[in-house]
Amino acid sequence: MKKLDRLILRSFLGPLALTFTLSVFVLLMQFVWKYIDDMVGKGLEFSVIAELLLYASATFVPMALPIAVLFASIMTMGNFGEKYELVAMKAGGVSVSRVMLPMTIVVMLLTGVAFYFANNVMPEAMVSYRKTLYDVTRKKPAINIRPGEYYKDIEGYVIRIGSKSQDGRTLEDVIIYDHTKGNSETAVIVAKRGTMQSTIDNRYLIFSLDDGYTYTESATGEHRDTRPMTSVSFSHQTLSFDISSFAYNKSGEDLFKGSYQTLNVAELGIAIDSLEHNLEQRRDAYRRDAEINMRTWHRYLAESPKQHHVEAFNLHTRIDTLDADTRTKVLNRARYVATTARTDSRNYGETLYSEREYMNRHEIERQRKFTLSIACLLLFLIGAPFGSIVRKGGLGLPLVASVGFFVLYYVVGMIAEKSVRESVMGPEGMWVSSFVMLPIGLFLTLQATTDSSLFDGATWKKQFRRIFKPKHI
């Protein structure tokens, strides 16, 4: 490897690693803000939160790689141009395409890595991510009974305490409302003092109460009239509450497997074929039902004249030629057949649309594994020539340009994806954003290799002055 190639690779790999890390971090922060309420206040261990963030970060890799390649290529070529290193390379007989060659090889390798990651690693990471997220969001908040507030998170009970000591266990003025028996019987337990602690396995919360009363009110039962309310005093009483639902429990992975986001390309192909087969069977079933309904209607038309002792009639018989009784029966029958057909048609259309959309989601996921991988190469073809033309390094212009190009790619891709999902376009619609970016990349590459002054402000000023310069008569 030549010294020039090593220089180019060192200049490119550093910004690439940095921007990739920043891209994953930004996407991860978006995820954190979305699910912050589901993670805070539940007493989750740090390892659980770290595991969730790790799996979430893995799902962002296919999206972060194209952004990193675009930003790093603009920054690298911009720095070469700004420091006149690119000019020195050209003076030494090294063309722009030769300068881009080491970076192109790296990007092509990244394209393969991105596809392998999206096809093999991401499905497994998605299963673990969805399982962990489900367990975290399902877990109830940690028990935190605060003085002066009514605590209702333990099912069937409402607890209020007057004060709590600094150790978090000793309580004063405890009131516990027991609604576990519904409206038939309500109990209220009042104690002057007590202690609160959970068992070692965190399955039960134990209240040890001193010097109190238990008031029980019966709304139903044999003692409703004679003893509607009873009061029992106690010097010491122990209550236990089942809090096993507050614990963090791990679900099985089988619950989350099978979704289109957890399948690789081969599995998606099998799933799409199966869905297409089921869709064809549903079409055949609807066709058979429609034919049966039509045959039933024609049979009714053929048998009705015999039943009502009128002349034979068919679809072309005028309704006003029939007697009133027969006309009413025929119209009611026709109305019933039409209403049934319309209902069946509407239900079939809604079912067909839902199943077609579900199949389209599988096709979208399969095409996305290719499009996001190819995006690394396409955005590099835009970023590297753009950086060599503008000759501006640092973080300012490369960041603005990267955001602009990627937003264009992303917005076009989202519009196309929606069209594919709604069957407005076929699966090839997922490549629309790539087809849009490819001409831009080829144009910028051509301009860079021909030493174009496309983004030179002085050149554009001269052109405008030449156009708008007043002519002397």
- Residues 365-422: tens digit of each pLDDT: 999 999 988 999 999 998 888 888 887 766 677 778 888 888 899 899 899 989 998 8
20 and 111: one domain?
A: yes
**271 inside domain:** yes
288 and 399: one domain?
A: no
268 and 354: one domain?
A: yes
**132 inside domain:** yes
295 and 336: one domain?
A: yes
Q: Which residue has the tokens 């002792």?
A: 309
373 and 426: one domain?
A: yes
Predicted local distance difference test score (pLDDT) of residue 461 = 60
Range of the domain at 185: 150-245
135 and 14: one domain?
A: yes
Single residue among 364, 391, 407 that ends a domain in this structure: 364
Contacts of 24 (CB under 8 A, 6+ apart): 57, 60, 61, 64
Nearest by Cα to 185 from 150, 229, 231, 234: 229
Q: Tokens standing for 274?
A: 């199966």
Contacts of 371 (CB under 8 A, 6+ apart): 413, 430, 431, 433, 434
Predicted local distance difference test score (pLDDT) of residue 310 = 47
Single residue among 364, 387, 422 that ends a domain in this structure: 364
Q: Tokens standing for 112?
A: 């393969």
407 and 288: one domain?
A: no
Domain count within the chain: 3
**34 inside domain:** yes
Q: Tokens standing for 267?
A: 């599995």
Per-residue pLDDT of the chain (473 residues; tens, 9 = 90+): 578 888 888 889 988 999 899 989 988 988 888 877 767 666 677 888 888 888 888 888 888 999 999 988 888 888 888 888 887 888 878 888 888 888 999 999 999 999 999 898 888 888 888 888 877 776 655 567 788 888 887 878 888 888 888 777 888 898 988 888 776 778 888 998 888 887 776 778 888 898 888 888 876 655 566 666 788 888 888 888 877 666 655 666 666 777 888 888 898 889 888 888 888 888 888 888 777 777 776 666 666 555 544 444 554 555 556 667 776 777 777 777 778 778 877 888 788 888 888 888 999 999 999 998 899 999 999 888 888 888 776 667 777 888 888 889 989 989 998 999 888 888 888 999 999 989 988 888 888 777 666 555 555 566 556 666 655 54
